[in-house]
Structure 1
Amino acid sequence: MTEKQKIHPMVDVEAPTPTAPLVPPGSATSEKSSPIQQRPPQRTIPVIHTRPPKKRSCCCKCICWSISFIVLLLIIVGATVGILYLVFRPKLPKYSIDSLRISDLRLNFDMTLYAKFDVKITADNPNKKIGIYYEQGGRLSVWYTNSKLCEGSLPKFYQGHQNITKLDVILTGQTEGGSTLMSALQEQQQTGQIPLDLEVDAPVAIKLGKLKMRKVRILGECKLVVDSLSANNIISIKASNCKFRLKL
């Protein structure tokens, strides 16, 4: 007997493998049927800034304290000055040129001009509660244009409250280019109006009550117009304009 042979269907090896239908991405069908899970979006971690270093905060505190201290000090100084001003009512001293006399004015053999002046000054301290110490080193000088004719030292003394003091100062000096200078003075003398500048530089110390303050300087300039420069004669001062200021 012949055995029954089982007949199996033939499989075509070269037949194309069936593929899944293409589904557009994003559709509901693809989301349900797709076995691949999508990766969750990455979350950004916020950057946390650290505090500034301790050194910087200490420096800022020191600067703030220093500025506050300076401002407070200025307020205290300003208040003190204001109180002192209200209490003492300070005023600048007044000065006037009473007379000017020429003892000598001549040409030397070396063609320098020798001059000797005698100047009388009145110093008036109008303050009721302030005294003035005139210290050593004060100078008084007489100029013609830009040439210094002579100079002398101011005396050292103390001037009390509301005091008027008379000063007699001797000035001497020698000036280069005396021939040219003498000719200019003689020519100016013919007009009867000779301009002279008298300059003052006086170191002083102010006394407030019983307290003696530090030294300051009184600077002044008097513009004079005199009628003559003849030696041993009384010179008439036709005009006088004096300005003084305090230099700390």
Structure 2
Amino acid sequence: MPSDMIQLDQRIHPTSIVIDKETKPTIPLVPRTRTDQSTPFERPLPPFLSLARPPKNRNCCCRVICCIISLLLIFILIIGILGLVFYLVFHPKVPNYSVDRLRITDFRLNLDLSLYARFNIRVTAKNPNEKIGIYYEKRGKMSVWYKNTRLCQGYFPDFYQGPLNTTAIDVSLSGQNQYGNTLMQALQQQQQTGNIPLDLKVDQPVSIRVQSLKLGKVRFLVTCKLTVDSLSSNNLISIKASKCKIRVKL
């Protein structure tokens, strides 16, 4: 056989490969972790940054504040309950005050045009409580005012007033005002009408006594609106109208 035919027979022809179309490459459901092939930029976070925990100091402060607020609420509740029991048992009432007499012993202009005044006032205090006594403490103040100008001032005496007791108190007041000339002219004009408005103010610290127990101090703030006919000295002044109000200040 010729040599070229022999070479043709020795050629290798490619064979056909059959691929199953239903067979598909599988993809893993969970990606493989690369522990050995991590890049320099992929570093795991430290454990203290990955888990956020609230600081302990903040928790302690919140607990302390909550405890303080709870104690205050409990204290207010206890005080309210005690006050309610005290009111239901003793039925406390404020005293009644009235101005019974007003006498002017001195009312004149000085050489420096200042106005000097001296009043004597009788005030009646009534304690309507059946089981509560009142201690009138020292340094209680009483003053007489014409509009916004104080004419004179004195001190309320200290004494004890028992339950259902009525006490008359005589107080001497004196004072000096530097704008005496202007004040005297205004009072003289007002005196021509026969109605001079005056304000009597009392600031008195008191203590409450329940049976044999003396409680803490409070303040009685008394304001009496007076209308008198004149301000002539050495004469008994006629009180045309008198109305007193009392306010308790803790």
TM-score range, shorter chain: 0.7 to 0.9
Q: Per-residue displacement from partner, 1:151-192 (whole Å, max 9, x unpaired)? A: 111111111111111100001000111011111111111110
Correspondent of 1:112 among 95, 101, 114: 114
User: Deviation of residue 55 (structure 1)?
Assistant: 5.2
Gaps in structure 1 of 5+ consecutive residues: 24-28
Change (3 A) 1:11 1:99: farther
Contact 2:228-2:239 within 8 A present in 1 as well: yes
Distance 2:174 2:246 in 1: 23
Correspondent of 1:236 among 225, 235, 238: 238
Residue 100 of structure 1 pairs with residue 131 of structure 2:
no
User: Deviation of residue 30 (structure 1)?
Assistant: 3.9
The residue correspondences of 1:184-203 to structure 2 (distance < 5 A) are: 184-203=186-205
**Counterpart residue type for residue 40 of structure 1:** L
Distance 1:170 1:121 in 2: 11
Change (3 A) 1:5 1:172: closer
Percent of matched pairs sharing the same residue: 52
Query: SS state of the match for residue 99, structure 2?
Result: strand
Correspondent of 2:27 among 38, 61, 76: 38
Distance 1:237 1:133 in 2: 29
User: Deviation of residue 230 (structure 1)?
Assistant: 0.8
User: Deviation of residue 69 (structure 1)?
Assistant: 2.9
Residue 156 of structure 1 pairs with residue 155 of structure 2:
no
Change (3 A) 1:60 1:148: closer
Distance 2:214 2:59 in 1: 45
Quote the residue 1:26 is aligned against: none
Residue 8 of structure 1 pairs with residue 7 of structure 2:
yes
Correspondent of 1:132 among 122, 131, 134: 134
Gaps in structure 2 of 5+ consecutive residues: 33-49
Correspondent of 1:146 among 148, 153, 159: 148
Distance 2:216 2:137 in 1: 11
Contact 2:98-2:243 within 8 A present in 1 as well: no
User: Deviation of residue 66 (structure 1)?
Assistant: 3.5
User: Deviation of residue 76 (structure 1)?
Assistant: 1.7
Change (3 A) 1:10 1:84: same
Q: Per-residue displacement from partner, 1:177-225 (whole Å, max 9, x unpaired)? A: 1011111111111110111111110011111121111211100111111
Quote the residue 2:40 is aligned against: none
Quote the residue 2:178 is aligned against: 176
The residue correspondences of 1:31-110 to structure 2 (distance < 5 A) are: 31-32=22-23, 36-42=25-31, 58-110=60-112
What is the aligned-residue RMSD (CA, Å)? 3.2
Distance 2:208 2:75 in 1: 23
Distance 1:19 1:234 in 2: 145
Change (3 A) 1:62 1:20: farther
Distance 1:3 1:107 in 2: 167
User: Deviation of residue 68 (structure 1)?
Assistant: 3.2
Residue 216 of structure 1 pairs with residue 218 of structure 2:
yes
Distance 1:103 1:51 in 2: 82
Distance 1:134 1:169 in 2: 14
Distance 1:135 1:10 in 2: 141
